[in-house]
């Protein structure tokens, strides 16, 4: 008989593993059966392309309620593109759900293009898309790089944002990039790191972003694809508390990996095209009046919790929700639970009903932080 794996321990407390009985690990943490799950699958009402420059056409789609409250989903990467399950973070009877693939990503054209592909081009694209769709203001939802873009967009156009739901915060600092691509995450995943650096000579490993750029820009397609797959696989293997082997084939698919790796590397080498390293925190005063929820996995290796905590300290009005048994991925059960609660709360706020956090999640938040994460910083 196969032995069950041990349950993970967090701060001395035992949390149930995926196949443990649905019993509370400690008072306040939602059981597996109590956690919210994604809304039912829905098909787009329509899809189209929007030309935003002589070189770029963006794929976009709408689903849900055509007359509902608009929400824009900002995917990660940059370069990952959207996929159908991302529609399911929103109540389709209430929200007008808009997904789009950023420049060079997903179904947008041209594929994996780096020309005129910067944060500020994407922010201009968002405004062009909003105007094209006849939307005055919208809820902005973004995770990982999507949280970066959401913050940058909201700080540039606060009057266009009704609320923010952010996940896996990435502030685009050198510290964050060095942690994941130079010296930090490799200490926790030395096996996966070995695969990531295998084809990079020792003489080039002191500047891995540059080393990968030369391969991702290679005129040899085989060299490009090998580098793209290795780059993408490193992030996939570190994104979840428990690795999901079923996700790997998509991640190393030629089409996905090439756009993901090339565009990410392009942005990372250019430090997100921000004028100042801490620009997003320095300009947070422009959006502190906007309702916001921050969802962060405690064991996020890709975007460690330090960034979410820094954002919370700068923006105490935002509701920080720490998921004690999750990493970086938006598809981990605890993260899904908090994101669904967040979009539902934004719905209730819009309807004039503040809504309930639910005693389970409120207690879990207090248990993880030691106090209410929405309080004033000390």
**Regions of the chain short of the pLDDT cut 50:** 1-24, 26, 356-378
Same domain, 159 and 279: yes
Which residue, of 251, 272, 293, is where some domain finishes?
272
Same domain, 157 and 88: yes
Active site residue 337: no
Which of 300, 319, 337, 367 is flagged as catalytic? 300
Give a yes or no: residue 168 inside a domain. Answer: yes
Sign of torsion over alpha carbons 115, 76, 273, 217:
negative
Residue 266 lies in a domain: yes
Q: Encoding tokens for residue 196?
A: 């990531």
Residues 6+ apart with CB under 8 A from 28: 359, 360, 362, 363, 364, 366, 367
Tell me whether residue 1 is in a domain: no
Q: For the CA atoms of 136, 139, 143, 144, what is the dihedral angle to 10 degrees?
A: 50
307 and 166 part of one domain:
yes
Same domain (yes/no): 329, 358: yes
- Whole-model pTM? 0.88
From 144, 147, 239, 329, the catalytic residue: 144
Among 56, 312, 328, 337, the active-site one is 328
Active-site annotation holds for 199: no
Residue 14 lies in a domain: no
265, containing H or E segment: helix 254-269
Q: Which of 272, 296, 329 is the last residue of a domain?
A: 272
- CATH of residue 98's domain is 3.40.50.1820
Number of domains present in the structure of the chain? 2
Q: Round to the nearest angstrom and report the end-to-end CA distance of the chain.
A: 52
Residue 24 lies in a domain: no
Say whether both 240 and 192 belong to one domain: yes
Choose the final residue of a domain: 257, 272, 287. Answer: 272
Domain that holds residue 247: 175-272
Examine the domain organization and report whether 131 and 279 are in the same domain: yes
Residues 160, 282: one domain? yes
Q: Classify residue 40: in a domain, yes or no.
A: no
Residue 18 lies in a domain: no
Beta bridge partners of 98: 62, 72
182 and 258 part of one domain = yes
3-state secondary structure of 141: strand
Residues 253 and 109 in one domain: no
- Do residue 156 and residue 199 come from a single domain? no
Residue 279 and residue 266 share a domain: no
Respond yes or no: is residue 289 known to be catalytic. no
94 and 57 co-located in one domain: yes
Query: Is 29 a domain residue?
Result: no
Angle between helices 333-350 and 359-369 (to 10 degrees): 120
């Amino acid at each position: 008989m196969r032995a069950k794996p041990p349950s993970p321990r967090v701060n001395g407390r035992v949390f149930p593993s995926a196949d443990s009985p649905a019993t509370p690990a400690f008072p306040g943490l939602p059981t597996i059966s109590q956690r919210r799950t994604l809304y039912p699958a829905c098909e787009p009402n329509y899809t189209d392309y929007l030309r935003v420059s002589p070189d770029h056409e963006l794929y976009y789609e709408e689903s849900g309620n055509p007359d509902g409250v608009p929400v824009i989903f900002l995917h990660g990467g940059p370069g990952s593109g959207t996929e159908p399950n991302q529609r399911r973070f929103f109540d389709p009877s209430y929200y007008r759900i808009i997904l789009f693939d950023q420049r060079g990503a997903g179904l947008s054209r041209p594929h994996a293009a780096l020309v005129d592909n910067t944060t500020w081009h994407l922010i201009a694209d968002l405004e062009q898309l909003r105007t094209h769709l006849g939307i005055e203001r919208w809820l902005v939802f973004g995770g990982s790089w999507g949280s970066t873009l959401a913050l940058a967009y909201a700080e540039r156009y606060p009057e266009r944002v009704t609320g923010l739901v952010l996940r896996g915060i990435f502030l685009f600092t050198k510290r964050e990039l060095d942690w994941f691509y130079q010296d930090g995450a490799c200490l926790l995943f030395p096996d996966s790191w070995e695969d990531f650096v295998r084809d990079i000579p020792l003489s080039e490993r002191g500047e891995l972003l540059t080393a990968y750029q030369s391969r991702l820009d290679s005129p040899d397609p085989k060299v490009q694809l090998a580098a793209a797959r290795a780059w993408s696989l490193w992030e996939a293997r570190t994104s979840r508390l428990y690795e999901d082997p079923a996700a790997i084939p998509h991640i190393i698919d030629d089409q996905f990996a090439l756009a993901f790796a090339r565009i990410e590397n392009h942005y990372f080498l250019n430090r997100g095209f921000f004028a100042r390293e801490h620009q997003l925190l320095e300009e947070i005063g422009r959006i502190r009046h906007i309702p916001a929820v921050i969802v962060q996995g405690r064991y996020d290796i890709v975007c460690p919790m330090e960034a979410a905590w820094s954002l919370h300290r700068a923006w105490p009005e935002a509701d920080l929700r720490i998921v004690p048994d999750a990493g970086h991925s938006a598809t981990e059960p605890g993260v899904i639970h908090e994101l669904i609660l967040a979009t539902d709360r934004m719905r209730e706020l819009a309807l004039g009903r503040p809504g309930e956090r639910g005693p389970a999640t409120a207690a879990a938040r207090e248990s993880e932080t030691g106090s209410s994460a929405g309080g004033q910083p000390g």
